[in-house]
Amino acid sequence: MEKKNIILLICTVLSFFTVFAVNAVMVVIPSIASEFHMSNIVQNWITIIFLLVVAVMSVPAGQISGKYGLKKVTILSIILFIIISIVNVLITSAEAFLVCRFILGISLSFINVTSMAMIVSAFKPEERGKALGINITGVYVGLSLSPVLGGILNYHLGWRSVVLFGVPFLFVILALLLTKIDEEWITFADIPLDIKGSFSYGIGMVLFMYGFTILNTPLGVLLTILGIIILIIFGLIELRQPHPVFDIRFFKNRKFLSSNFASLCAYLATFAVTTILNYHLQYIKGFDSQSAGMVLLVAPLCQVVLAPIAGRLSDKYVPQILAAIGMALGTISLFLFSFLSAETPIEFLIMSMIIYGVGFGLFSPPNTNVIMSSVPPKDTSVASAAVSTMRTVGQAMSMGILTLIFAFVMGDVPIVEQYYPLLISSCQITCLICVVLCIASVFASFVGIKSDDVGSL
């Protein structure tokens, strides 16, 4: 096997397990919440805290991995992933579980950045769309199998088996990296780390995103505003830095800007859907985790089929048009999800999930190809960090929207039968908000089509 194909295999497997670490645990959240007596707000934080850390760390991860080497950083991140997964099964409290998710987010933020950057570095531009499509297929296979494997493992062995599932496979990936890949990719060797930028970005992002999840309180409003101010200061710092942690001048490139904004809106609109459907199936419909996992397989299975096709098409046709069509389908599916209730037939749910899966499968590879191809080769780790950041910020804020709606409609309560009508209303309102965000993603996908500033600032 060619070395570049080994790299693609490694990165695709890593993409699978980064998704599995999020989505398999999402399916078993009701079991974890029951064991640790979590309220509806706290159990949402199992997902949010992980995504928040990834969002905060992804930007500095791009510069750090470019300075010290993509391969080296990947190896260290995998080791941390393995260690914290083992520790996680030994914990006995909700607080300890959230701490483990926090540390896991650190390791996966680096893996997200380095794996995509290694693919872009290993493949020529004319092969890149296909390679990225295959890599994103790994993401969608993870999305497909996560609810099924997570549900089955939880049903028979408990949630701790879900946390440990990836460990043996990651040992194999470590062995491949150490024995089969002798290249190292260092693009920022002589460039100092931007400590001021990294800290201002991290603090601003934490304040903004945490404040957003409690925006129904005066403290939430204050923290959100303070976070925005600090993020503006971060932008001013970066404009004056000779070697910024994230060169915001890339956003002068309309392709880069529009595709990143489209990605942000897409994940804002769609990520909470899995949680909404999982809650609908397990709480409202009374499915166990294994049965719910089988139903949740439908949408990501469609994404698995569409992702490599969409990746190849993005090398031949205008990728923004493909992405816009995908999100238009996503808009339709979310509108359909807004009608979910206790009486909704399972056939209606499955039909809506198929439309959702086809739409997002058609959107992601072309949109990622645009972003990664719109910067100079030396800045691929920065572009990869942007992709990861838009994804995780969107995912975290999507869960933040759901949590915020929970707080307004339900209050801070356990999800038990007496609150099911409020749970249904909360999910319906969230889906309608997400319809608007999907429409924004469609328009954003079109903005950069006429721009010719590919690979330049």
Residue 21 contacts residue 106 (beta carbons within 8 Å)? no
Q: Given this model, what pLDDT does residue 338 score?
A: 93
Residue-wise pLDDT for 70-110, tens only, equals: 888 999 999 999 999 999 989 888 888 899 989 998 998 88
The number of helices, as runs of H, and strands, as runs of E, in the chain is 17, 0
Q: Given this model, what pLDDT does residue 457 score?
A: 44
Q: Given this model, what pLDDT does residue 171 score?
A: 93
Q: Given this model, what pLDDT does residue 451 score?
A: 59
Q: Given this model, what pLDDT does residue 223 score?
A: 93
Q: Given this model, what pLDDT does residue 274 score?
A: 83
Closest CA to 391 of 269, 229, 299: 269
Q: How many CB atoms lie within 10 A of CB 258?
A: 25
Residue 191 phi, psi (nearest 5): -105, 125
Residues 6+ apart with CB under 8 A from 123: 4, 8, 131
Q: What are the tokens at 359?
A: 């739409």
Residues 6+ apart with CB under 8 A from 319: 129, 313, 366, 367, 369, 370
Residues of the chain with pLDDT under 50: 454-457
Q: What are the tokens at 456?
A: 């330049």
Q: Given this model, what pLDDT does residue 364 score?
A: 83
Q: Given this model, what pLDDT does residue 455 score?
A: 45
Closest CA to 334 of 273, 403, 265: 273
Residues 317-322: contacts with CB under 8 Å, at least 24 apart: 318/449, 319/129, 319/366, 319/367, 319/369, 319/370, 320/258, 320/259, 320/366, 320/367, 320/370, 320/445, 320/446, 320/448, 320/449, 321/445, 321/446, 321/449, 322/362, 322/363, 322/366
